[in-house]
Structure 1
Amino acid sequence: MDPKLEETLEKISAQATAALSGRLLALVLYGSAAGGDYHPGRSDLNLLFLLDRVDAAALGSLLKPLAGWRKKNAVSPLLLDREDLERSQDSFPLEFLEMRLAHRVLQGEDPIATLSIDRDALRLQCEREVRGKVILLQQGFLDAGPDRKARQELFRVSIKPVLVIMRAMLWLSGEANPPLVPAETLTAFEKIFGNPLPHCRRVLDFRADPPRLAEPETAALFVGYLAELKDLSRWADRWEPTK
C-alpha cells in the first residue's frame, strides 16, 4: 500500500462522514487505485458514496471538502442511493462489472459485491463501446492535429477504457477474475481474440512512463493502433461469449 494514498483515503473518509452527518451508508474506492494500475500523482481516485438519499442537501454538503480532495487527484464522487443502485445495474453493466472486479470498501457495507451483471446487456454494451472508442480515437486524432505531444496524450487516455472492455469480454468468456494489471489484461485478451495486438501493447507504455517518439514513429503507431481497434470492433460484432 502507498502510505500517502492511505493517508489521503483516511482523510477523505473522515471528512465525508463529517460532511454528510450520518447519511453515508458506504464509501467505496474503485478503479486503478483499488486494482493493479495505480500510479501516484497521476491516477485518479474514484469513489462511490452510497447515501440514504441523493438530494441537493447532500450535494451541497460535499462542495467544500471536494475542493480539497481534488488536490489529491480525487474526481467528483459517484453518488447513489439504494434505489439508484438497483435500477442502474442493467443500464451500466460494464461500469458496474469493472467496479466489482476492483473495489475496496473504506467504510460501511459493500454495495458492489452482490451486484447482478446482466450478461446480454454487458455483451451489447461491449460491442457498442468498442465502436465508440474507434470513433473517439479518430476524432481525437483530428483534434490533436500535427501536435505530437497531443497525439501521445491521446494514446495515454484512450487505452484505459479499451482495457475495461477487454476485461469485460474476458469475464463473459468465463474468466471470473480477469487480470487487473494492464499488460496482463492484454495478454489474456489476445488469447480469446486469436491475434497479438502489438500496437495496443506499445500504447500501454504511455500509461506510466511515456516514451519519447519522433513524429514518424508517433504517426506509425497511431495507424497501427487504429487498425487494431477497428479489427477488435469487427470481431466484437460477431463474437459470441461463453454461456
Structure 2
Amino acid sequence: MPEINISNKLKNNISLFVNKLKERFSDDLVSVILYGSAASGEFVDRRSNLNFLVILKDPGTSALKKGAEIVGKFPAFEPLFLTEDQIDRSTDIFPIEFLDMKENYTVIYGKDCLKDINVDTGNLRFQCEHELKIKLISLRQLYLKSSRDKRLLLHALLKSFTSSLHILRNVLRLKGITPPYKKDLIIAGLAKVVPIEVPVWERILAVKNKNEHLNKDSVDLLFLRFIEELEKTADLVDKL
C-alpha cells in the first residue's frame, strides 16, 4: 500500500477491504482509490470517514449487492462505485466533487482513473453558484420556521459552515488561487477576494472546534450573520 498518514489499524482495514473487493469482483475490479482527508493528511481518527472510489467494469445492481456484503463490514468507509465511463460523463455535473478527488487521492489498487480527467471551469462556476444559493434558501427557510429552536439552528449553522467552505475553496480556484485544505486557510484566502467579516467565520470555526460555547442569543445572531456572509460570496460567484 502507498504511504498514507493514518494509523496502522486503519491501514490494515484498508488492505482487508481491498482484498475482499478483489476476491469478490476479480477481473471486474479496475481500481480502488482513496481520496479526501486521509489522502491529504488531514484525517482525524474516529471523526473522519475514509472515502474510496471503487472503479468497476460493470457497477450494476448485481455489483451493488456484492459490494453491500463487503461495505457493511467497514462502517467508517464511504465507497463510491462507478465505471470509468460514468466518471467521464459526470465531471460536467459534479465538477467540485471530481476536482476535490483529483486534488487529494492515492491509488490503493489498479489503474489511476483520475489522472487525466478534465473539468470545465464554466461548469465549476455554475455548481458553486447553484449550491451557495440553494444553501441560502435553506438557511432562510429554516430560520423562518425554527428560529426558537436554538439547538437546531446551531446544528444547521455548523453543518452549513463546513459544507460552504467545501464550495468556497473552489471559488478560490475560480479566482486563480490554489485552494488550501484547512478551514482557517480557506477563510484567509476567501478574505482576499470577498469583503467578508473574518471574525464571523473564525468564531463559527471556534465553536465547531469546541473552543467556544454560544448562548442562545449568540446562536441567533451568528446564524443571521452567516447568512449575510454567504450572500456576499454568492454575489461574487454570480459576477464571475
Q: How does the TM-score come out when normalised to structure 2? A: 0.88
Among 65, 74, 77, which residue is 2:77 paired with?
A: 74
Tell me which residue corresponds to 2:108: 106
What is the correspondence of 1:65-214 to structure 2 with a 5 Å cutoff?
A: 65-70=70-75, 73-75=76-78, 77-141=79-143, 145-175=147-177, 177-209=178-210, 211-214=212-215
State the alpha-carbon separation in 1 of the partners of residues 97 and 231 from structure 2. Answer: 22
8 A Cα contact 2:207 2:214, kept in partner: no
CA 1:216–1:194 in structure 2 vs 1: closer, same or farther (change >3 Å)?
closer
State the alpha-carbon separation in 2 of the partners of residues 139 and 7 from structure 1. Answer: 45
State the alpha-carbon separation in 1 of the partners of residues 50 and 223 from structure 2. Answer: 29
C-alpha displacement of 1:144:
5.3
Structure 2 SS opposite 1:21: helix
8 A Cα contact 1:100 1:112, kept in partner: yes
CA 1:148–1:48 in structure 2 vs 1: closer, same or farther (change >3 Å)?
same
Tell me which residue corresponds to 1:15: 20
The RMSD of aligned alpha carbons is 2.1
State the alpha-carbon separation in 2 of the partners of residues 29 and 99 from structure 1. Answer: 9
More moved, 13-22 vs 77-86: 13-22
In structure 1, stretches of 5+ residues that fail to align are none
C-alpha displacement of 1:228:
0.5
Deviation readout 1:28-87 (Å, 9 max, x if unpaired): 1222333354322122222111111111221111112211112xx223x21111211111
C-alpha displacement of 1:210:
6.3
Deviation readout 1:75-114 (Å, 9 max, x if unpaired): 3x21111211111121211211111122222211221121
More moved, 133-142 vs 166-175: 133-142
The residue type paired with residue 146 of structure 1 is R
8 A Cα contact 2:31 2:111, kept in partner: yes
In structure 2, stretches of 5+ residues that fail to align are none
Structure 1 SS opposite 2:81: strand
The residue type paired with residue 6 of structure 2 is D
8 A Cα contact 2:154 2:219, kept in partner: yes
The alignment-based identity, stated in percent, is 28
Matched, 1:64 2:69: yes
8 A Cα contact 1:34 1:103, kept in partner: yes
